[in-house]
Structure 1
């Protein structure tokens, strides 16, 4: 069943990408659109901008939006000359880009999404049986301190009570993430993990990074090759491939539920300490700023953002109403979830480098 769901999801994604490519090849604006804006976005927003309803809503306001995707932290290395906006997946890389391109503050932040861990039911039940999670029917809470302690001691699935009944649960226990050096979700994972590991303190300098560097290194090195985007990681998980625990955005789960797809034995674990992904527009031109503000304020676009799983800034009622049928899987009010402050971009960059074994000593 998971393989069938994966094929259906892949077909939907390919259709969305195809629509975006066709739109990008058009030499002239269509419908009522009068202005074309170009942007670089995180891959998790590709489906949103390719959605025909979003295209229509933007056109009604006078815009055609053409996008290319990039890892949020990799955007800094791109030449953005000729673009109207960049749209990374959190505020830290956005602030870095804003400083580089002298973008005027405040930066528009249309919507956000917390990081969650998706698990197959068997894995979630084993975690719960060993005190690493609490579990409901289709969702639960990952106990971050307990999980990090297990990671620090190199616990394997085979050492966990009840894992022997599930042949797929073998090897070292870990959460699969994207590359923290280039991808927003991977970097935010380190931000939340280091915050918990350092007694609820946000890393502010090299000394703080050094205190948690050995554990952060373990969290990353155990994974081997990492995906560059949560889009690919989530598709692999839904298709039944890859690790039994995968870090993704809540928006990806909510969007799949909104499409009415059969999610099989999917269980959504909300870390009791996590980080929000604040999708932040970096205006490179006035047209880019106008688009960012439109995404934040236009009721139709806010509703469409919710259908793609995002939580609009400044209000919870829209998300709560839209996901009322999916509370089995979604923690609408983020009850019991603490938001970890995200370190400054320079500190987070250093943390990612150290976690990947680059620069400094992690011994």
Structure 2
């Protein structure tokens, strides 16, 4: 079931004349509910009614009557485009890399054991290869030097991620992990699926019940609940910082091998197509996308680094190609056991 999150007519200006009904990944809910975004869209003649869904779950929805689908990556967008016979290049107005948020104690222990490298007080690199080696060996926090003085660092060392069968970030985590586990090669064959499947199952099964959205996982982390290492979108951290919050205990680790979340539009009507074009090109909307932590396509300079937490340019971060949708679905199935 999807939840209505936005769609207020702009009362200050009677310019909003076309209503665009869309389904979006939950991490964009705050963006479309922002009164400044509502106002900017109204100035261009649009009112948006946005409902949320897991990006991979959109394929199972009946989108008749919708104008636009905006999942959080290209693979589910391509599936939707095929299902609804949408042709041509799909617009990708903005993107966000996946990052690992860690509490400072955890980040320092990881760095002391070669699993991370810190380059600023609140920022560093997460070493995927070393982490996967630790996961294969069922390493616990207690086995890491320096962890003993922190009572909260106990049990198996793992990253919390979302359900890969329904959530985009969880699926992209498997894409990056399988790429590293497959020797720096995208998983494509049945043999490669079989080879990487057991490790992916280990990464997921250790977590127990998984959240269906990064919103809930990030809120839990910020409140101090749950696991000390959580995979979220950079945009969520950037949005928190833009709101004036700068948690002293927060460290943002950029995986050295990752997959960007390319927010990809699937226009189902002409109004949907026009709105997707606005999101990509309108200067005011691009400015608001940055405020919400998204990186507009095409110009890294628009994304201002938030002090010592975020990277302005993604140097030292390797982009892993994403397997085909069919392969990624199979990896997710095996990961979930």
Normalising by structure 2, we get a TM-score of 0.96
2:223 to 235, 239, 261: 239
Pair 1:299-2:283 in alignment: yes
**Match of residue 328 from structure 1:** 308
Gap runs ≥5 in structure 2: none
Query: Is 1:219–2:190 an aligned residue pair?
Result: no
Match of 1:165, SS? coil
Question: C-alpha deviations, 1:45-98, integer Å up to 9, x for none?
Answer: 000000000000000111000010000000000011110011000000000000
Is residue 91 of structure 2 the alignment partner of residue 108 of structure 1? yes
Identify the match of residue 173 of structure 2 among 189, 195, 208: 189
Residue of structure 2 equivalent to 1:340 = 320
**Alpha-carbon distance in structure 2 between the residues aligned to 1:19 and 1:43:** 9
1:92 maps to which residue?
Answer: 75
Aligned residue number for residue 34 of structure 2:
51
Q: Which residue of 1 aligns with 2:334?
A: 354
1:78, 1:19 → 2: CA distance?
Answer: 17
Of 93, 107, 110, the residue aligned with 1:124 is 107
The aligned length equals: 334
Contact 1:180–1:352 (CA under 8 A) maintained in structure 2: yes
The one-character-per-residue Cα deviations of 1:19-43 (angstroms, maximum 9, x if unpaired) are 836x2xx699962011001000000
| In 1, Cα distance between equivalents of 2:145 and 2:164 | 31
Distance 1:85 1:139, change over 3 A: same
Residue of 184, 190, 200 corresponding to 1:206:
190
- CA distance in structure 2 between the aligned counterparts of 1:268 and 1:336, rounded to whole angstroms: 15
2:5, 2:51 within 8 Å by CA — same for their partners in 1?
no
Q: 2:280 & 2:314 partners in 1: Cα distance?
A: 22
Per-residue deviation, 1:168: 0.3
SS at structure 2 position matched to 1:343: coil
Q: Corresponding residue for 1:361? A: none
Superposition misfits of 4+ residues, deviation over 4 angstroms: 26-30
Q: Which residue number corresponds to residue 20 of structure 1? A: 6
Deviation for aligned residue 1:264: 2.6
Mapped to 2, the partners of 1:56 and 1:27 lie a distance apart of 6
Q: What secondary structure, in the 3-state scheme, does the structure 1 residue paired with 2:212 have? A: coil
User: Aligned equivalents of 2:223 and 2:79: distance in 1?
Assistant: 35
Gaps of 5+ in 1: 1-16, 358-363
Residue in 2 that maps onto 1:82 = 65
Deviation at 1:317, TM superposition (A): 1.3
Match of 2:52 in 1: 69
Question: In the alignment, is the contact (CA less than 8 A) between 2:6 and 2:51 conserved in 1?
Answer: no
> Is the CA contact (8 Å cut-off) linking 1:29 and 1:35 kept in structure 2?
no
Q: Is the alpha carbon distance of 1:27 and 1:143 closer, same or farther for their aligned partners in structure 2, counting shifts above 3 Å?
A: closer
RMSD: 1.6
User: SS of the residue aligned with 1:86?
Assistant: strand
- Tell me by how many angstroms 1:119 deviates: 0.1
TM-score w.r.t. the length of structure 1 is: 0.90
Task: State the alpha-carbon separation in 2 of the partners of residues 338 and 66 from structure 1.
Answer: 36
Deviation at 1:104, TM superposition (A): 2.0
Deviation, structure 1 residue 207: 1.8
Cα distance per residue 1:263-294 (max 9 Å; x no partner): 13100000000110000011111111111011
Normalized per residue, the structure richer in helix is 1
CA distance in 2, matches of 1:28, 1:287: 21
